[in-house]
Amino acid sequence: MKINKVKGDFMNRFTDRYSKLLYHLFYEDNWCSLTELSKKTGYSKSTLWRDILHMSSNLPPEWKIDKNEVLGVRLMKPKNGTLEELWFHLKSENTYFQTLELILFNNGVTIKYITQKVHISRSTVYRQLEKIEEVLKNAEVQLSNSPFKIVGDEIKIRRFIMQYVEYMSGNLDDFITSFNLKEFQDTLLELLKEHSTSLHMGAIQRLAIILHISNIRITHNCCVAFPKVVIDENETSTAFEISKKLFKFMVKCPNREKQISEILFLSLYFMSEEMSLNRTQELRYIRSKLNSDSGKPLGEFLSNLSKKIGLDVSQDDIFMYELAQTLRGISFDLQLKTDTRINNILQFVPYFENNELFVIIEEIAQCISDE
């Protein structure tokens, strides 16, 4: 069973082979022949051997790949070692990502600059730029030449940078340098309390990331712009009010009009992270939607899911509330182009199919989409 590509999944193009190989080596926990690995991953033995040799020299401390001509290969890991730890380390060592990062966080870079910073040859840089250009195209932005930098719709550019940052899952304290992260978190928590507002788990970190990205882009003289009608519609919202009070963490724009647009941009991300505090009202709303024409596909999905697992999920308040919050987030993400929250888990998407519940849900969703 194949899983359809999702927006943001293009990051995996840099690491698809490695992720499959690592997954099988990690959970095999024993010797595994190249023939077995080839069958499991779909790649040739020579390609896998080349990848194994490359990975062996880039493993974190206490990790090791043993190689034996007869037995094959096995991954030796520390007692408390995790797949995530290994994977995030290898991503940080990946020269594709190092090159992409130089492009994303500088206002134009040259071939010479990339070769000096990443320590790769000019020919390797050109090969990488070709692949990066393809990835950017899928993200609906472009790569300019000489100097190389990301260009296009500013909101889409920021969304792509956000996807990259979340995908790499680095240390936020190291990444965020345009303001004090702790002060930002404390200030936002106070504002949330003041306005009786609640956010999704991890939202404060995500808002800090997008604000820092915005600050970087503003220093490159790249600001967002919104029509006055959009600003007028949103400037009385709680999200806009809170975003205005976070002004001290923002880089100043050349004029007031651009500054207002930047405040609105942050508030849109804020809106996508807001949680409904009235659980009863939320449950009443989503259950009423199930009886409408627009809610019919969702109703059929829940009915089929209930039959499969032997439990009427539509009567489970916790499940329905979380479902409503998820659907609300997806709706905001698609409308506001803020769909970045899935990126930490994207590299593990190919392995969800091993989970029985995921298989059931996907089969039901597929049946409904085929009707």
Let me know whether 348 and 285 are in one domain: yes
User: Cα 144 vs. chain centroid, distance in angstroms?
Assistant: 24
Let me know whether 294 and 231 are in one domain: no
- Please state, in angstroms and rounded to a whole number, the distance separating the CA atoms of residues 210 and 227: 21
pLDDT, position 151:
96
136 in a domain, yes or no?
A: yes
Let me know whether 98 and 124 are in one domain: yes
- Please state, in angstroms and rounded to a whole number, the distance separating the CA atoms of residues 129 and 172: 27
124 in a domain, yes or no?
A: yes
CATH number of 79's domain:
1.10.10.10
Let me know whether 265 and 346 are in one domain: no
Query: For the chain, what percent of residues have pLDDT higher than 70?
Result: 88
Let me know whether 227 and 194 are in one domain: yes
pLDDT, position 13:
56
160 in a domain, yes or no?
A: no
Calculate mean pLDDT across residues 99-109.
Answer: 96
* Residues 115-136: tens digit of each pLDDT: 999 999 999 999 999 999 988 9
Tokens of 295: 């809610």
pLDDT, position 201:
81
- Please state, in angstroms and rounded to a whole number, the distance separating the CA atoms of residues 16 and 94: 12
Let me know whether 178 and 270 are in one domain: yes
pLDDT, position 351:
56
Cβ contacts of 55 within 8 Å, gap of 6 or more: 18, 21, 22, 65, 90
Let me know whether 205 and 141 are in one domain: no
* Domain's final residue, options 275, 309, 344: 275
pLDDT band at residue 288, thresholds of 50, 70 and 90?
A: confident
Tokens of 9: 């999944």
* Domain's final residue, options 226, 244, 275: 275
164 in a domain, yes or no?
A: no
Let me know whether 286 and 270 are in one domain: no
Which range marks the domain in which residue 295 is found? 279-370
pLDDT band at residue 90, thresholds of 50, 70 and 90?
A: confident
Calculate mean pLDDT across residues 26-54.
Answer: 89
* Domain's final residue, options 83, 112, 137: 83
Let me know whether 72 and 17 are in one domain: yes
* Residues 336-367: tens digit of each pLDDT: 665 555 554 555 555 565 677 777 777 777 77
330 in a domain, yes or no?
A: yes
216 in a domain, yes or no?
A: yes
244 in a domain, yes or no?
A: yes
Let me know whether 20 and 67 are in one domain: yes
78 prior amide bond cis, ω within 30:
no
- Please state, in angstroms and rounded to a whole number, the distance separating the CA atoms of residues 355 and 72: 28
Which of 29-38, 103-112, 253-262 is predicted least confidently?
Answer: 29-38
* Residues 234-273: tens digit of each pLDDT: 999 999 999 999 999 999 999 999 999 999 999 999 988 8
Tokens of 361: 């849900």
For the chain, what is the domain count? 4
CATH number of 198's domain:
1.10.1790
Let me know whether 232 and 285 are in one domain: no
Q: Write the DSSP symbol of residue 294.
A: T
pLDDT, position 184:
98
Let me know whether 286 and 266 are in one domain: no
Calculate mean pLDDT across residues 291-296.
Answer: 83
pLDDT band at residue 215, thresholds of 50, 70 and 90?
A: very high
Segment 250-258 long-range contacts (CB within 8 Å, at least 24 positions apart): 250/211, 250/214, 250/215, 250/218, 251/178, 251/214, 251/215, 251/218, 251/219, 252/218, 253/218, 253/223, 254/221, 254/223, 258/223, 258/225
76 in a domain, yes or no?
A: yes
